[in-house]
Chains A and B, each alone.
Chain A
């Protein structure tokens, strides 16, 4: 099984800050990595797919990078609506298995 590990687990930041969240896979997953945003009481929303492709309608302040085992999600200038929990997910081993990181909760400082 492929394990996904995110860091940090939680993060406090201010509006306007640049924020980076890291996701590491237990083995190479090439670019089969996706990022989701989840707000309380809501379903996850796809932000980035295939490591660096921005989902339609997602603001350009979100970006993703990486390949192999190490990936990052960057928010260039935090907006109030960005405070949420972020998850990475691998689909390299699909369809037999998909796995998510444990999540990173982004809170207002």
Chain B
């Protein structure tokens, strides 16, 4: 059974940093691209960042480019997101999502999410 479990969320002050983790199990983590998607309170879904299966290629939404860094450790089956220079607009539930391994690829599995609150 595919499982994704996010952790690392919490309350942080504006300008602060936080590192999210997503522990994966039930599939061959090292052959799938992974992504982070966030959802501000009461709002819709926003793609944040993606990383290739090897970790060699990374992609970011303009809203987080230069502040967030996605990475992965395939030996630990874990996805990460380092978030720096946080602002109130980054307050959201952060989901990690697995990308299906096919030409037209959706996010076929999602974690339960971890809440990040940026506030003084």
> Measuring CB to CB, which residues of chain A are less than 8 angstroms from any residue of chain B?
31-32, 34, 36, 38, 42-46, 49-50, 55, 87, 89, 91, 94-103
Instruction: Let me know if A96 and B59 touch, CB within 8 A.
Output: yes
Closest chain B residue to A47 by CB distance? B106
Q: Interface SS of chain A: helix, strand, loop or mixed?
A: loop
Instruction: Let me know if B44 and A46 touch, CB within 8 A.
Output: no
Q: CB within 8 A of A95: which of B33, B46, B111, B113?
A: B33
Instruction: Let me know if B57 and A95 touch, CB within 8 A.
Output: yes
Given the complex, which residues of B lie within 8 Å of A98, measured CB to CB?
35, 47, 50
Would A94 and B112 be within 8 Å (CB), given that A49-B104, A50-B104 are in contact? no
Given the complex, which residues of B lie within 8 Å of A50, measured CB to CB?
104, 106
Given the complex, which residues of A lie within 8 Å of B57, measured CB to CB?
95
Closest 9 CB pairs of A and B: A34-B106, A43-B110, A98-B47, A50-B104, A49-B106, A100-B45, A103-B44, A95-B50, A102-B44
Is B107 on the interface with A (CB-CB < 8 A)?
yes
Instruction: Let me know if B104 and A32 touch, CB within 8 A.
Output: yes
Closest chain B residue to A45 by CB distance? B110
Give complex CA distance A37, B47 in Å.
16
Which of B35, B37, B95, B104 has the most chain A CB atoms closer than 10 A to its own CB? Answer: B104
Given the complex, which residues of A lie within 8 Å of B37, measured CB to CB?
44
